[in-house]
Amino acid sequence: MGPPNLRAMLPDLVIDGALPAIAYQVLSRHGVAAVPALTAGAIFPAANIMRKFAATRRIDLIGAIVLVFIAIGVIGSLISGSVIFILVKESFITGMVGLLFLSSFLWHRPIFFYLGRQFAAGEDPERLAWWNGLWEHARFRRIMRIMTTVWGVSYLLEAIVRVVFALTLTPGSVVVLSPIMGIGTTVILILWTRTYARQVQERAARETALATATPAA
């Protein structure tokens, strides 16, 4: 089903998750105040999005949403001077991504259909036609909807937990835990997606084999 590849996503997980936390720790130890130290970490995910745009000349929908919220978060943080605002803005991004997944049920096809097509078919015309044709099968439509639901609900729950952390823990703890949560949630979802897709394919293969088997005399 073309689930995301964990190895391919590893650079994004490091740049978007680990580097902001490292930047905060380094700047804090050098006497930089909490607000500018936290805000500086936004440079890395923003630069990563622009790096991918420079390579592909295309910003995907989720990347565009993240970039907008990074800009809003940085401007709002500098204006308000609120540490809580900076910590909670990460939850807004995650929550919006979760809502994007769930709201895609209002589209012609759920978002995981398009994400799966990107990984499974790329720009190959024949594979694109093959992937688009899979939508005619009820089982495939159900699988895409299940995957979209699981990813959307998971990111919404993660956003809620991040808000709780931001309101109850110290900034230093949150800036370490937040990327761990983000990376951990994404890794778990990727592993679940790959396992689920493999199980579905194996089940389909067994059913095909049974359907084509010659009945015993």
Per-residue model confidence as pLDDT tens digits over 128-182: 899 999 999 999 999 999 999 999 999 999 999 989 998 898 877 887 787 778 7
∠ CA 215-199-193, nearest 5°, is 160
Does residue 2 come out as left (phi exceeding 0), alpha (psi in the -120 to 50 range) or beta?
Answer: left
Q: What integer is the mean pLDDT of 50-61?
A: 70
For residue 192, tell me if it sits in a domain. Answer: yes
On whether residue 67 sits in a domain, the answer given is yes
Quote the domain boundaries for residue 170. Answer: 6-201
DSSP string, 148-187: HHHHHHHHHHHHHHHHHHHHHS-HHHHHHHHHHHHHHHHH
Q: What is the DSSP-derived secondary structure letter of residue 216?
A: P
Q: Mean pLDDT, the chain, as a whole number?
A: 80
Question: How many structural domains compose the chain?
Answer: 1
Diameter over CA atoms, the chain: 84
Nearest to 182 by CA among 107, 56, 93, 85: 93
**130 assigned to some structural domain:** yes
Is this model's pTM higher than 0.75 or not?
A: no
Query: Higher confidence at residue 119 or residue 72?
Result: 119
